[in-house]
Amino acid sequence: MATMSLWHDHDLRYTLEDLERFNAQFPAARGPRGMFLKQSSDGAIYFAKPALYAVFNAPFYGAFGTTGFIIFNLMAIAIMAALTHQIARRIYGYTLSHLMTAALFLMGPFMAWTMVVHPDLFIALLLYTGGYLALTQNRSSGWWAAGLLLGMALAEKPTFVVALPFLLLCVPGPKFRTYGWIVFGLLAGWLIPTLVNLSQDGNLLAYQGIRFYVGEPPFPLEAGWTSPKTGGFGHIFDTSFLLRAMTGNLALVPTIVFEFIFGRQTGMLLYFPVALVFLFTALTRRNINALLICIGLFAYLLLYALAFPSNGFGGGASYGSRYLMQALPLLMLALLPLIKSTPPAGRLVPSQLLGVSAVLASLVFQHGTLPPSGKLVQNPTTFLLNTPATLFPLEDRLLPWIPIFTSHFRVDNTTAEASLFSKDATWLDKYVDGKIVRQLTLYQHNADQALPALYIHSSVHARVDIKNGGTPIWTGSISPQKVLDLPLDQSFFQHEAFDLLDKKTKRWGAFSIELQSVATAEKPAYASFELTTDSAPVPIPFDRIISIHEFNQHGIIPRFHWSYMEEWGQWTDGEYAELLIPLPDNLPDGTEIQITATAFLARNQPRQSIEVFLNGEKQYDHTFSSPGPITLQVPVGQLVKRNAVSIGFRMRNPTTPLAQGISQDDRKLGLGLHNLMFTRRSATSAGTP
């Protein structure tokens, strides 16, 4: 949007015209989202991103339209690939360097990000070209150009300030004269975009000031939009908070190093296997300059990981770690001091053998980035939940921000201060041979808040064993008509860290739950898990409709295969779902629960058959043949000694709107629940046996 504003309006000020122009060019986006705007003291709104990407991209946009963004990204990749081959061929050989370069830039995050209008590839290009000139030039013009490019890289990515000193220590030539020209260029490259920031709101960095998040409509300057009063992230520039995070989180370093190599969201082995070979080569050749550049990269990554332990890789929508991708050229630059170490002709050395292995690993792990598509960056859920990604561990500390966009991955308690994560993205388990074993991670977003309770649901009687590693935490039993309400405590956590992102201390820990049951083929046998904040339920009244939005206050629990609540009601999402309903005291004879429901029907599926269960026992079948709501009647008056009942629905043929060609919705819809009511039993009607 900043590029479009610069080309059409010749400024970097956000206006309603910019929004309308964006929506006309990108109608599918339905408005821009993210933290990309800031407000000056006079109320003017500017783009809260460094200006250089927009400046360099504007001519491409003017010449080619929105395709110009893609052309610019591809040019950046082409330049970086050419430099990489130029460096690698002196170490790995001509043919292998071609293969390694192609694998690095065509299969992995670099190629995935080409279709995304974002400055990540541009930042990597500035760092790469500036560093290459600094390490290879021997003239003042080359040193000045190197400094200029590195200064622009620093303006785009201020955190490069921790890596650049290590890179500059490796510059060859007469030090005083060389550094003089480089520093002169660096100041020029940094100062020009900084003056733009100062002219807008008086801050040195585009990231400072009153920055605000743009989410749902109304968008800024539209009717109904409320102007922000304060900046929500000014504290990240506070030295005291930064030092607290950097020093207080040092215990995480071993975990961070492991995840840097093997992690599913941030690991080099999965996303950049070729670059991992570059790292191995640089560290094992015993060259001080190569080692210094690698230390600079580690310092940069460690800054993010320690300061933002829950989000040190690049945000909510990111294929791999984009912060690593931006700085990855440092690994290629670390090879430059080694180019004199040419391998003997006709003999493979260990680094070459590893190079061949890395190319093959790229083919296996990253072939999905071809052909490139922005969808992989916007929603990497499918990649993260399938092989080969599932061969790698999902990083516990990053779970709140890992971009797995499915309701089956995470549940929050009502105050959103704690979350429960299922790493294989399923909350409903079917008993297999009478047994279920689940691996879950509990994450407390604010350690100063009270912990919620863990609710465990089971449609059959079961024994429950909860363990932290091999250490038992709790053992007991569960029944179908009673929720297991388990208070949580410190024994569920193994890690703690202060997060600069919101100035809160986080806690997290992994644990396992095992349920052992004897399930019969006739009875649905499932279990599920959730977090909840206890509150005393309001007694259920007779002869009054209770909407799904009132279920919580009356203690009614939808469990197993339910989707999220919508304004009209709630869909089932799978083959079996239940309602656990507390029974009023002194239940009169002839009481029944009337459930108003509809079914998901489509042109290719005009009927939907369901089985209705009461406390696990099948009551009757019903077939929906029209889209309108009907009333399902379930007699419960005979259950005078029960505190609660479970009413289950087994869908015989749930299907997705995606499969029916209706929309991109991939939920397996069956029954749509509107409301329920306790009443005296009436005459037989539709929905009764």
Query: What number is the average pLDDT over the span 459-488?
Result: 89
Q: Does pLDDT of 317 surpass 50? A: yes
Do 191 and 322 lie in one domain? The reply is yes
Nearest to 32 by CA among 111, 118, 113, 112: 118
Distance of CA 435 to the CA centre of its chain: 31
Residue 382 lies inside a defined structural domain of this protein = no
Rounded distance, CA 452 to CA 444, Å?
A: 9
Structure tokens at 593: 């629960």
Rounded distance, CA 29 to CA 34, Å?
A: 12
pLDDT given for residue 228 in this prediction: 79
234, 252, 286: which is the final residue of a domain?
234
* Pair 173, 134: CB distance under 8 Å: no
Query: What number is the average pLDDT over the span 110-120?
Result: 95
Residue 167 lies inside a defined structural domain of this protein = yes
Do 485 and 504 lie in one domain? The reply is yes
Query: What number is the average pLDDT over the span 628-657?
Result: 88
The DSSP result for 140-158, as a single string, is: HHHHHHHHHHHHHHHHH-G
What is the pLDDT of the chain when averaged over all its residues?
A: 90
pLDDT given for residue 408 in this prediction: 81
Nearest to 527 by CA among 566, 477, 564: 477
Q: How confident is the model at residue 185 (pLDDT cuts 50, 70, 90)?
A: very high
Rounded distance, CA 438 to CA 424, Å?
A: 9
Query: What number is the average pLDDT over the span 586-591?
Result: 82
Query: What number is the average pLDDT over the span 281-309?
Result: 96
Name the pairing type of β-strands 428-430 and 630-635. Answer: unpaired
Q: Is 201 helix (H, G, I), strand (E, B) or coil?
A: helix
Do 273 and 297 lie in one domain? The reply is yes
Q: Choose the weakest-confidence range: 139-143, 400-404, 583-587, 680-684.
A: 680-684
Rounded distance, CA 330 to CA 498, Å?
A: 29
Q: How confident is the model at residue 394 (pLDDT cuts 50, 70, 90)?
A: very high
The string over 346-369, giving b where at least 16 C-beta atoms fall within 10 Å of a residue's C-beta and e elsewhere, is eeeeebbebbeebbebbeebbebb
Q: Does pLDDT of 643 surpass 60? A: yes
Do 249 and 348 lie in one domain? The reply is yes
Rounded distance, CA 85 to CA 332, Å?
A: 10
* Pair 12, 198: CB distance under 8 Å: no
Would you call the peptide bond into 582 cis, given omega within 30 degrees of 0 as the criterion? no
* Pair 669, 574: CB distance under 8 Å: no
Residue 538 lies inside a defined structural domain of this protein = no
Q: Does pLDDT of 96 surpass 90? A: yes
Q: How confident is the model at residue 260 (pLDDT cuts 50, 70, 90)?
A: very high
Q: Is 36 helix (H, G, I), strand (E, B) or coil?
A: strand
Do 184 and 245 lie in one domain? The reply is yes
- Any idea how long the chain is? 689
pLDDT given for residue 685 in this prediction: 44
Nearest to 428 by CA among 406, 405, 448: 406
Q: Is 225 helix (H, G, I), strand (E, B) or coil?
A: coil
Most confident of 111-125, 167-181, 632-646: 111-125
Rounded distance, CA 142 to CA 323, Å?
A: 27
pLDDT given for residue 535 in this prediction: 65
Residue 131: what are its φ and ψ, rounded to 5°? -65, -40
Residue 656 lies inside a defined structural domain of this protein = yes
Do 80 and 187 lie in one domain? The reply is yes
Q: For position 629, which CATH number holds?
A: 2.60.120.260
Query: What number is the average pLDDT over the span 309-327?
Result: 92
* Pair 135, 178: CB distance under 8 Å: no
* Pair 506, 496: CB distance under 8 Å: yes
Distance of CA 53 to the CA centre of its chain: 25
Rounded distance, CA 486 to CA 252, Å?
A: 29
Q: Does pLDDT of 150 surpass 70? A: yes
* Pair 319, 111: CB distance under 8 Å: no
- The boundaries of the domain holding residue 30 are 1-48+207-234
DSSP state of 587: P
* Pair 392, 269: CB distance under 8 Å: yes
Nearest to 634 by CA among 675, 603, 593: 593
Tally the C-alpha atoms within 13 A of residue 101's C-alpha that lie toward its C-beta.
22
DSSP state of 667: -
Task: Name the pTM for this structure.
Answer: 0.87
pLDDT given for residue 570 in this prediction: 96
pLDDT given for residue 522 in this prediction: 57
Question: 């009413």: which residue's tokens?
Answer: 647
Do 340 and 261 lie in one domain? The reply is yes
Helices (H) and strands (E) in the chain, counts: 20, 23
Residue 465: what are its φ and ψ, rounded to 5°? -125, 125
DSSP state of 539: P
pLDDT given for residue 343 in this prediction: 54
pLDDT given for residue 657 in this prediction: 93
Query: What number is the average pLDDT over the span 557-564?
Result: 89
Q: Choose the weakest-confidence range: 117-126, 165-174, 225-234, 274-283.
A: 225-234
Residues whose CB is less than 8 angstroms from the CB of residue 234 and which lie 6 or more positions away in sequence, other chains included: 208, 209
pLDDT over 90, % of the chain: 64
* Pair 148, 155: CB distance under 8 Å: no
**CA Rg, the chain, in Å?**
29
> Considering its fold, how many domains does the chain have in total?
4
Rounded distance, CA 532 to CA 414, Å?
A: 6
Residue 570 lies inside a defined structural domain of this protein = yes
Rounded distance, CA 88 to CA 32, Å?
A: 40
Do 505 and 623 lie in one domain? The reply is no
Residue 383 lies inside a defined structural domain of this protein = no
Residue 86 lies inside a defined structural domain of this protein = yes
The DSSP result for 626-643, as a single string, is: SSS-EEEEEE-TT-TT-S
Residue type, 315: G
Q: Does pLDDT of 651 surpass 80? A: yes
Do 188 and 318 lie in one domain? The reply is yes
513-527 pLDDT, tens digit per residue, is 999 987 555 567 888
Do 137 and 80 lie in one domain? The reply is yes
Do 526 and 601 lie in one domain? The reply is no
Would you call the peptide bond into 218 cis, given omega within 30 degrees of 0 as the criterion? yes
Do 348 and 246 lie in one domain? The reply is yes
**Which residues partner with 464 through β-bridges?**
476, 515
The DSSP result for 66-82, as a single string, is: THHHHHHHHHHHHHHHH
User: CA separation (Å) from 382 to 153, 390, 431, 548?
Assistant: 33, 11, 25, 31
User: CA separation (Å) from 195 to 57, 200, 396, 410?
Assistant: 19, 9, 41, 43
Higher-confidence residue of 532 and 56: namely: 56
Residue 396 lies inside a defined structural domain of this protein = no
Beta carbons within 10 angstroms of residue 665's beta carbon: 14
Rounded distance, CA 277 to CA 357, Å?
A: 9
349, 369, 389: which is the final residue of a domain?
369
pLDDT over 70, % of the chain: 95
Q: Does pLDDT of 684 surpass 70? A: no
